[in-house]
Amino acid sequence: MNEKIMIVDDETAIADLVEVYLQNEGYRVFKFYNAADALSLLQREEMSLAVLDVMLPDMDGFTLCRKIRENHFFPIVMLSARVEDNDKITGLTLGADDYVTKPFNPLELVARVKTQLRRYTRYNPGEPPAATAREHSIRGLCISKDSHKCLLNEKELSLTPIEFDILWYLCEHRGKVVSSEELFSQVWGEAYFDSNNTIMTHIARLREKMQEPARRPKYVKTVWGVGYTIE
């Protein structure tokens, strides 16, 4: 196993605990107690995933997440004692792929890390290897599974792994209305809850990057009470 995971948390006990559990799974762990040292590492090493605390001594985790997203697209899991919905939405909007609240079960965190890593390496157990298209082109929108790139009118979009997977799934099911439940279960690999606004947040961020008007989007359209579609 060659996956490299970065932990940034100024609570030594928590950082050490997470490190032990991840190392037990065979991951290479890089542990930091502040944002500056973590950013310095990223100038020399490419990570497979990052676990970021929100409250850090030199920079809040949201800002760190945004800075990482300027140049890197590996999954980011936010880890925080702040449980308010606004904090979760902020993290997801800035490019985080998951948000875990403290106190947490280390085994659950490890499971979430594994889920994100599978997605990042484009693991898709339900996809027939020889029968499924590897590229879609829809009115100037081109998305490739092999290169993991998305172009809109020949301009590359800077998408997070989650955003890419959402757009890919909708393109793969072009013309079909995909429910929030289906989209969440296929992209996140977890059960969907009625109070979950994660899909809505990521769709909004995706539209923003595509410079889509919220009321009359050209590509990702909302079918109220049903789900989302690309026609």
What is the structure's pLDDT at 127? 40
Lowest mean pLDDT among 21-25, 82-86, 146-150, 163-167: 82-86
Contact 82, 54 (CB under 8 A): yes
Which tops the pLDDT comparison, 207 or 193? Answer: 207
Contact 119, 165 (CB under 8 A): yes
Mean pLDDT, all residues of the chain? 84
pLDDT at residue 85, rounded to an integer: 65
How does pLDDT run across 43-98, given as a tens digit for each residue?
888 899 999 999 999 998 889 998 998 888 889 999 887 666 677 777 777 778 88
Q: CB-hemisphere CA count at 13 Å for 82?
A: 17
Burial of 71 (C-beta count, 10 Å sphere; 0-12/13-18/19+): exposed
The pLDDT value given to residue 49: 94
What is the band of 36 on the pLDDT scale with cuts at 50, 70, 90?
A: very high
Rounded to whole angstroms, how far apart are CA atoms 58 and 54? 11
At residue 23 the predicted structure's pLDDT band, cuts being 50, 70 and 90, is: very high
